Amino acid sequence: MAKAHRTSLLITHAAMLLPLLVILGFFFVLPLGIVATTSLKEEQTFPSLAQYLSIFTDGFYLEVMVRTLVIGLVTTVAALLAGYPAALLLVFSSSRWRRVFLFIIISPLFVSVIVRTYGWIVLLGPTGPIASLFPPDIRPRMLKTEGAIVIGLMHIYIPYMVLSINSAMAKIDVRLLRAAATLRASRWQIFKDIILPLSAPGVVAGSAIVFSLSMTAFSTPVLLGGARNKTMPFLIYQENLVLGDWQSGSALAIVLLAITTTVLAVVTIASSRIVNKVGG
Amino acid sequence: MARRNTLARVGRIYGVLFSAFMLAPMVVVLAASFTGEGYISFPPASLSTRWYVEVLQNNTFMNALSFSLQIAAITATASGLVGVLSAVVLVKPSFPGRTFLVSLAMMPLTLPHIVLAIALLQLFGSLAIPSAPYALLMGHILITVPYVLRLTMTSLGGLDPRLELASFTLGASRSYTLRHVVLPLGLRGILAGILFAFLLSFDEITISLFTALPGKMTLPAEIFSYASQGSDPVIAAASGLMIIISAVVVIIIEWWFGLLRLILGDEPAKRGSRPAGE
Give the pLDDT confidence of B34-86 residue by residue, as tens digits.
988 888 777 788 888 999 999 999 999 999 999 999 999 999 999 999 999 99
CB contact at 8 A, B199 and B140: no
Chain B residues whose CB is inside 8 A of the A106 CB are: 259-260, 263
In chain A, residues 112-151 whose CB comes closer than 8 Å to chain B: 112-123, 125, 127-129
Average the pLDDT over B6-30 and give the result: 93
Q: ipTM score here?
A: 0.92
CA B152 – CA B83 distance, rounded (Å): 8
Q: Residue B111: helix, strand or coil by DSSP?
A: coil
Residue B159 sits in which domain range?
A: 75-217+249-264
Residue B203 within any structural domain of the chain:
yes
Read off the pLDDT band of A273 (50, 70, 90).
confident
Quick check: A102 and B110 CB within 8 A?
Answer: no
Residue B238 within any structural domain of the chain:
no
Q: What is the pLDDT of residue A2?
A: 67
Read off the pLDDT band of B271 (50, 70, 90).
very low
DSSP state of B272: P
- The neighbour count for residue A34, using CB atoms within 10 Å, is 21
CA distances from A129 to A65, A133, B43 (A): 33, 7, 7
Q: What is the pLDDT of residue A275?
A: 67
Chain B residues whose CB is inside 8 A of the A213 CB are: 275, 277-278
Q: How many domains does chain B have?
A: 1
DSSP state of A195: I
DSSP state of A29: I
Quick check: B28 and A119 CB within 8 A?
Answer: yes
Whether residue A277 has pLDDT greater than 80: no
How open is the CA angle B265-A108-A102, to the nearest 5 degrees? 50
Chain A residues whose CB is inside 8 A of the B210 CB are: 237, 241
Backbone φ/ψ region at B48: left (φ over 0), alpha (ψ -120 to 50), beta: beta
Which H/E stretch holds residue B197? helix B187-203
Measured between alpha carbons, how far apart are the two ends of chain A, in Å? 51
Give the pLDDT confidence of A149-195 residue by residue, as tens digits.
999 999 999 999 999 999 999 999 889 988 998 999 888 999 999 99
Q: Where are the alpha helices (DSSP H) in A217-245?
A: 219-225, 232-237
Whether residue A96 has pLDDT greater than 90: no
Q: What percent of chain B has pLDDT over 70?
A: 94
Q: Is A86 on the interface with B (CB under 8 A)?
A: yes
Residue B275 within any structural domain of the chain:
no
Query: pTM higher than 0.80, yes or no?
Result: yes
CA A212 – CA B173 distance, rounded (Å): 48
Selecting from A19, A34, A260 the residue whose C-beta is nearest the C-beta of B119 gives A34
Selecting from B29, B116, B220 the residue whose C-beta is nearest the C-beta of A122 gives B29
CA B87 – CA B273 distance, rounded (Å): 17
Whether residue A238 has pLDDT greater than 90: yes
CATH code, B195: 1.10.3720.10
